[in-house]
Amino acid sequence: MREIVVAKMSDRYSAELVVARLRDAGIVARITGRVEPSWTMGSPTAVTPVEVRVAEDKAAEARAILADADGEGDGSDAVD
């Protein structure tokens, strides 16, 4: 089954929180993208966002869950 990106974060910790929230709702989610920081000028900088993906048939439900949680400050950027 095809997977859809439902959120992008700049760090793995935030992505793990989003995945946990989705899994609590019964949606299988996984993290993709670069998950380690890149060091530039002495400070960590995310070069590529960390993505949270779900099965295509669960994407709308996952986005709704993340939209409801958006006001709770989980650090995610939901993808429409």
Instruction: Please report which confidence band the pLDDT of residue 74 belongs to, taking 50, 70 and 90 as the band edges.
Output: very low
Q: Is the dihedral of CA 28, 67, 25, 9 positive or negative?
A: positive
In this prediction the pTM is: 0.72
Q: Residue 8's pLDDT band (boundaries 50, 70, 90)? A: very high
Identify the pLDDT of residue 25.
Answer: 96
Domain boundaries, the chain: 3-78
What is the CATH number assigned to the segment(s) 3-78? 3.30.70.790
pLDDT digits (tens, 9 = 90+) for 23-70: 999 999 999 986 555 555 555 555 668 899 999 999 999 999 999 877
